[in-house]
Amino acid sequence: MRIDIVTIFPEFFGVLDISLLGKARQQKLLDVTVHDLRDFTHDRHRTVDDTPYGGGAGMVMKPEPWGEALDRILGDPLPGTVVVVPSPAGRPFTQAEARELALAPALVFTCGRYEGIDQRVIDHAATRPNVEVREVSLGDYVLNGGEVAAMAMIEAIGRLVPGVVGNPESLTEESHEDGLLEYPSYTKPSVWRDLEVPPILLGGNHGAIAAWRHEQQLERTRRVRPDLLPDGLS
Ligand SMILES: N#Cc1c(-c2ccc3ccn(Cc4ccc(CN5CCCC5)cc4)c3c2)n[nH]c1N
């Protein structure tokens, strides 16, 4: 999968060179390119923002640099390319969307700053052939820009790309993967500060362990996220 990121803070994504995603890049499972939006400006001050039409606080990101950046990146897009626009006004980003986007041939993350990107950039991107645009929100709170959201989304998506995670089975027993929160996990020692590992996990009855873990998922989901429970299980 090809991932392009456009930002005025390219150094923010240096962390993608380490850990799991760094290894995936070395293995050519992920091809990540970070673009500095200011490289697509032509004035001495490399200006990327201006005052909002209609007034209001703050600044808005100018359309011209974004247009040139997306022209460069989306010159000949692979069919199925998705432009992901992190935005507080976007649709909530979910594990289901991460799974969907992990199947795309190419993703372009447009990381805005200030009060956001001129809307015409998003509207024009949606007219490009072979390109789908998704405005997506990390959660119901306001960040200072799209970089943190893009990083979180790239990690959630990247780890689902086949081959990135060594043991694919571990991806199926996670919170939200089956619609429920995950069961609690334990490791050695069996007693720590007088706290014992649930005895059922110390036996070898895999059927009973699986049943216990599912019950733990239901109990935790009822307690913490009843909104996730399927009808009839609340
Ligand atoms: N994903 C995600 C996000 C973001 C996010 C994503 C991208 C950008 C680009 C700029 N900002 C900062 C900002 C600040 C205030 C406003 C509201 N203003 C009112 C009148 C005009 C805008 C808009 C944006 C961003 C924030 N925040 N929270 C999430 N879950």
| ipTM given for this complex | 0.97
pTM of this structure = 0.94
Confidence of residue 172 (pLDDT cuts 50, 70, 90): low
What residue owns the CA closest to ligand 1's atom 29?
88
Query: How is residue 128 written in tokens?
Result: 């490009």
Determine whether 234 is exposed, middle or buried from the number of CB atoms within 10 Å of its CB (0-12, 13-18, 19+): exposed
What residue owns the CA closest to ligand 1's atom 19?
115
Give the mean pLDDT of the chain.
Answer: 94
The CB-side HSE value for 196 (13 A sphere, CA atoms) comes to 5
What residue owns the CA closest to ligand 1's atom 22?
115
Q: Which atom of ligand 1 has the smallest separation from the CA of 139?
A: 30
Give residue 142 CA to ligand 1 midpoint distance, Å: 6
Give residue 146 CA to ligand 1 midpoint distance, Å: 7
Q: Is the pLDDT score of 175 beyond 70?
A: no
Quick one: average pLDDT of 214-220?
Answer: 97
Q: Which atom of ligand 1 has the smallest separation from the CA of 138?
A: 30
| CB-ligand 1 contact for 147 (6 Å cutoff) | no
pLDDT, tens digit (0-9, with 9 covering 90-100), for 121-147: 999 999 999 999 999 999 999 999 999
Q: Is the pLDDT score of 56 beyond 70?
A: yes
Give residue 92 CA to ligand 1 midpoint distance, Å: 13
CA separation for the pair 116, 112 (Å, rounded): 5
- Give the sign of the dihedral formed by CA 187, CA 193, CA 199, CA 200: negative
Confidence of residue 233 (pLDDT cuts 50, 70, 90): confident
